[in-house]
Chains A and B, each alone.
Chain A
Amino acid sequence: GENVEQHPSTLSVQEGDSAVIKCTYSDSASNYFPWYKQELGKRPQLIIDIRSNVGEKKDQRIAVTLNKTAKHFSLHITETQPEDSAVYFCAASGYFNKFYFGSGTKLNVKP
């Protein structure tokens, strides 16, 4: 099955700085890579996603890059704000639409 690894597990940045979270996956058949933000005790919220036919996607302060050859993808948040503080999960999906999640990154944006 798919194995998704995520780094770092915790990340502290100063408000206004950029944050980068990286994930790798093992199954070359995976072709959809969403990123979720989860606040304590709440459901994951999709913040951005990318499909395998695209190398980069951007939505305002958030961008995702995908390197299919190396099987890794990254989340980039620019101009971080305190409200960006949360746990972020990457996921990979392929056959049967199953989602396999990374271990999560706790992002702390210090004012």
Chain B
Amino acid sequence: GAVVSQHPSWVICKSGTSVKIECRSLDFQATTMFWYRQFPKQSLMLMATSNEGSKATYEQGVEKDKFLINHASLTLSTLTVTSAHPEDSSFYICSAREPGGTSGGKVYEQYFGPGTRLTVT
């Protein structure tokens, strides 16, 4: 099956610094990737849709200047948390959409990365 990796798996950073998280599709090309945030014992909250070669689209309430997303290639999307604060501490998970066209309204399966645990001190 399709494999998605994330790096790093965990990171600790100081308040005010920035941290970059990478999401890679290892055995398929992903024109669309998604970023989620999950607080302890809570659900996955969709943050943004990352589109290869174009700007990311953000969900309502997500600060695009704080969570910078870059999807520079068909296998890599990055999420940079800028000026991190303790309240940004969370589990960040990416997913990559199953390859395929968009015609016909078909919804495609998403393959999830293993997640990145961010702790801001």
User: How many B residues touch A, CB cutoff 8 Å?
Assistant: 25
Q: Mark B101-121, 1 if CB is under 8 A from A, else 0.
A: 000010111101111010000
Residues of A within 8 A of B107 (CB): 31-32, 51, 93-94, 97
Residues of B within 8 A of A42 (CB): 114-115
Q: Once the chains are docked, how many angstroms separate the CA of A25 from the CA of B110? A: 19
Flag if B115 contacts A41 (CB, 8 Å): yes
Please tell me if A20 contacts chain B, counting CB pairs below 8 Å.
no
Known: A1-B60, A93-B107, A97-B97. A43 touches B114 (CB 8 A): yes
Query: Tally of A-B residue pairs with Cβ under 8 A?
Result: 52
Known: A32-B107, A97-B32, A98-B49. A104 touches B114 (CB 8 A): no
Q: Once the chains are docked, how many angstroms separate the CA of A41 from the CA of B109? A: 21
Q: Mark A1-43, 1 if CB is under 8 A from B, else 0.
A: 1000000000000000000000000000001101000000111
Which secondary structure dominates chain A's binding surface? strand
Flag if B34 contacts A99 (CB, 8 Å): yes
Please tell me if B42 contacts chain A, counting CB pairs below 8 Å.
yes
Hey, which bits of chain B sit against chain A, CB under 8 A? Answer: 32, 34, 41-46, 49, 59-60, 91, 93, 95, 97, 105, 107-110, 112-115, 117
* Given A1-B60, A46-B109, A98-B46, 8 extra CB contacts under 8 A: A31-B107, A42-B115, A43-B114, A49-B109, A89-B43, A97-B97, A102-B43, A103-B43
